[in-house]
């Protein structure tokens, strides 16, 4: 039973009879009259149990994008229903306009829609559907909360998708799918053609030329069917926020762009995410829907307050296969974490694979080093300069081992990593 705001107003209206007949019996009589009217109004209200509520499948949406939750409400009773329905979700689901006015005739059905705009990744659930049916006097209402299960899966947004067309155009030129196929873009043999002025004489195929009247040259294309292994660090260092975005989410964006590009290039893409243990694993083998599969795998990932066990993660990389691969470690370039945990396992990885470390920079460090208006700013600038120097030193140590380091801001890391991949492919280093 729910009492509406009309009840206290009606009680205040009782001041009129009390003034006209100032006696305690008048007060109690008015209270009794209001109570009886409220109970009668509640008894005359339609029971919410006469409604049937079904929720349609919502599916998934990308973080920050809209989805719709549709409820089909049916009136099984013999009386018309006038009620208010509230489709309640957990706060991070971002339910908007979730209160709906219902006017259903006996035996009729209606569909109500609630807009959802998730503010975090993962499976976001409905917490109940509340129906409030007021009585004819509007003094009281019957209210019932029903458990109508519903889930919307919020996927990583993949904001770097806008960089994919330009990188695919560069890949097509690199791959030789342009108007004229030229020598030098790769190391895998593609076909033979007649020699034209300007061709590299080292590309002449003398055996084929001996069987033809004209000089024949070989054409080449970038390596295909190579392996790319993406390793996403979900340890505590990935929980730091760069602006409004956690480092983990920025690394996910770079992972999606590189995976989509590598799959279009014909390479096989494997994905691992973990800290002290593996949290997600995807064996894609060059699937064209690699971005969608990775988004599903990364939807539930969150930073774990623990150090990354790089020896265990390196072992998982080796279990994926012994074929030489491009191993991309998406982990913050934190000096302590790199030197103590990552550095000891790199020599074993470098024996079989080419390793790239992709890290998200914090632009706030650069701003702090330039801000020196007060004494506290000077101390902050000195601390920031020390962190920058430590990161540079860690990068130099990795470079000395033969590890390529891609260190960029959150919005620049995905295209920078994709460009590095294309550069390696063009030089035949995969």
Using the predicted structure, report yes or no on whether residue 186 has a pLDDT greater than 90. no
Using the predicted structure, report yes or no on whether residue 56 has a pLDDT greater than 50. yes
CA-CA distances (angstroms) from residue 39 to 71, 283, 387, 417?
31, 64, 70, 69
Using the predicted structure, report yes or no on whether residue 215 has a pLDDT greater than 60. yes
**By percentage, how much of the chain surpasses pLDDT 70?**
94
Using the predicted structure, report yes or no on whether residue 359 has a pLDDT greater than 70. yes
Q: What pLDDT, on a 0 to 100 scale, did the predictor assign at position 100?
A: 94
Question: What residues have CB less than 8 Å from 149, skipping those under 6 apart?
Answer: 55, 125, 126
Using the predicted structure, report yes or no on whether residue 189 has a pLDDT greater than 70. no
Using the predicted structure, report yes or no on whether residue 282 has a pLDDT greater than 50. yes
CA-CA distances (angstroms) from residue 403 to 262, 329, 398?
20, 10, 5
Q: What is the mean pLDDT of residues 100-125?
A: 92
Q: What pLDDT, on a 0 to 100 scale, did the predictor assign at position 178?
A: 39
> 153 φ, ψ to 5°?
-95, 120
3-state secondary structure of 121: coil
3-state secondary structure of 125: strand
Give the pLDDT band (50/70/90) at residue 341: confident
Q: What is the mean pLDDT of residues 120-140?
A: 91
Token pair of 77 as six digits:
């009773």
CA–CA separation, 108 and 401 (whole Å): 73
The strand pairing partners of 2, in sequence order, are 141
Range in 98-112, 174-188, 272-286, 300-314 with the lowest mean pLDDT = 174-188
Q: What pLDDT, on a 0 to 100 scale, did the predictor assign at position 194?
A: 81
Q: What pLDDT, on a 0 to 100 scale, did the predictor assign at position 15?
A: 86
Range in 184-193, 299-308, 326-335 with the lowest mean pLDDT = 184-193
Using the predicted structure, report yes or no on whether residue 184 has a pLDDT greater than 50. no
Nearest to 408 by CA among 253, 259, 269, 301: 253
Give the pLDDT band (50/70/90) at residue 285: low
3-state secondary structure of 208: helix
Q: What is the mean pLDDT of residues 385-405?
A: 89
CA–CA separation, 168 and 103 (whole Å): 54
Residue-averaged pLDDT of the chain: 87
Give the pLDDT band (50/70/90) at residue 182: very low
Answer for the pair 167, 180: CB distance below 8 angstroms, yes or no.
no
Q: What pLDDT, on a 0 to 100 scale, did the predictor assign at position 266?
A: 86
Task: Give Cα 419 distance to the centre of its chain.
Answer: 22
Answer for the pair 251, 303: CB distance below 8 angstroms, yes or no.
no
Answer for the pair 137, 100: CB distance below 8 angstroms, yes or no.
no
Q: What pLDDT, on a 0 to 100 scale, did the predictor assign at position 258?
A: 95
Answer for the pair 254, 213: CB distance below 8 angstroms, yes or no.
no
Nearest to 266 by CA among 226, 231, 229, 230: 226
Q: What pLDDT, on a 0 to 100 scale, did the predictor assign at position 368?
A: 81
Q: What is the mean pLDDT of residues 129-136?
A: 92
Question: What residues have CB less than 8 Å from 404, skipping those under 6 apart?
Answer: 354, 355, 356, 357, 420
Nearest to 328 by CA among 245, 271, 391: 271
Task: Give Cα 422 distance to the centre of its chain.
Answer: 25
Q: Are strands 227-233 and 268-274 parallel, antiparallel or unpaired?
A: parallel
Q: Are strands 354-360 and 404-408 parallel, antiparallel or unpaired?
A: parallel
Using the predicted structure, report yes or no on whether residue 179 has a pLDDT greater than 50. no
Using the predicted structure, report yes or no on whether residue 24 has a pLDDT greater than 70. yes
Q: What pLDDT, on a 0 to 100 scale, did the predictor assign at position 188?
A: 53
Task: Give Cα 94 distance to the centre of its chain.
Answer: 15
Q: What is the mean pLDDT of residues 235-253?
A: 89
Q: What pLDDT, on a 0 to 100 scale, did the predictor assign at position 127?
A: 92
CA–CA separation, 363 and 367 (whole Å): 7
CA–CA separation, 176 and 341 (whole Å): 41
Nearest to 107 by CA among 131, 137, 73: 73
CA–CA separation, 266 and 188 (whole Å): 13
Q: Are strands 325-330 and 354-360 parallel, antiparallel or unpaired?
A: parallel
Q: Are strands 109-116 and 95-96 parallel, antiparallel or unpaired?
A: antiparallel
Q: What is the mean pLDDT of residues 254-270?
A: 92
Range in 164-178, 335-349, 388-402 with the lowest mean pLDDT = 164-178
> 62 φ, ψ to 5°?
-85, 150
């Amino acid at each position: 039973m729910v009492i509406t705001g009309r009840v206290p107003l009606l009680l205040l209206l009782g001041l009129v009879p009390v003034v006209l007949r100032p006696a305690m019996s008048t007060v109690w009589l008015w209270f009794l009259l209001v109570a009886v009217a409220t109970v009668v109004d509640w008894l005359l209200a339609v029971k919410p149990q006469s409604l049937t509520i079904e929720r349609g499948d919502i599916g998934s949406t990308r973080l920050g994008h809209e989805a719709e939750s549709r409820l089909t409400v049916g009136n099984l009773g013999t009386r018309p229903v006038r009620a208010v329905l509230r489709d309640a979700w957990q706060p991070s689901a971002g339910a908007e306009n979730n209160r709906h006015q219902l006017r259903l005739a006996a035996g009729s059905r209606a569909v109500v829609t609630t807009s959802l705009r998730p503010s975090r990744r993962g499976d976001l659930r409905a917490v109940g559907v509340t129906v409030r049916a007021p009585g004819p006097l509007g003094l009281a209402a019957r209210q019932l909360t029903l458990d109508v299960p519903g889930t919307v899966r919020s996927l990583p947004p993949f904001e770097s998708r806008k960089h994919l067309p330009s990188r695919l155009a560069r890949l097509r030129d690199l791959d030789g799918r342009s108007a004229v196929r030229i020598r030098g873009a790769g190391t895998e043999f593609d076909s033979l053609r007649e020699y034209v002025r300007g061709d590299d004489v080292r590309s002449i195929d003398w055996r084929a030329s001996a069987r033809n009247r004209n000089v024949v040259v070989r054409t080449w294309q970038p390596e295909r069917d190579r392996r790319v292994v993406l390793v996403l660090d979900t340890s505590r260092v990935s929980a730091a926020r760069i602006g409004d975005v956690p480092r983990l989410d920025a690394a996910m964006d770079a992972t999606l762009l590189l995976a989509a590009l590598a799959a279009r290039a014909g390479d096989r893409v494997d994905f691992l995410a973990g800290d002290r243990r593996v949290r997600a694993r995807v064996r894609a083998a060059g699937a064209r829907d690699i971005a969608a599969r990775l988004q599903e795998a990364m939807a539930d990932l969150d930073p774990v307050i623990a150090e990354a066990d790089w020896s265990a993660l390196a072992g998982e990389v080796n279990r994926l296969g012994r074929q030489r691969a491009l191993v991309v470690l998406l982990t913050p370039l934190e000096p302590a974490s790199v030197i103590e945990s990552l550095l000891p396992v790199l020599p074993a990885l470098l024996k079989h694979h080419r390793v790239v470390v992709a890290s998200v920079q914090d632009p706030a460090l650069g701003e702090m080093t330039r801000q020196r208006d007060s004494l506290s700013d000077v101390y902050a600038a000195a601390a920031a300069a020390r962190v920058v120097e430590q990161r540079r030193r860690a990068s130099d140590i990795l470079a000395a081992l033969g590890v390529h380091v891609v260190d960029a801001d959150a919005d620049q890391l995905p295209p920078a990593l994709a460009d590095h991949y294309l550069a390696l492919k063009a030089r035949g280093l995969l």
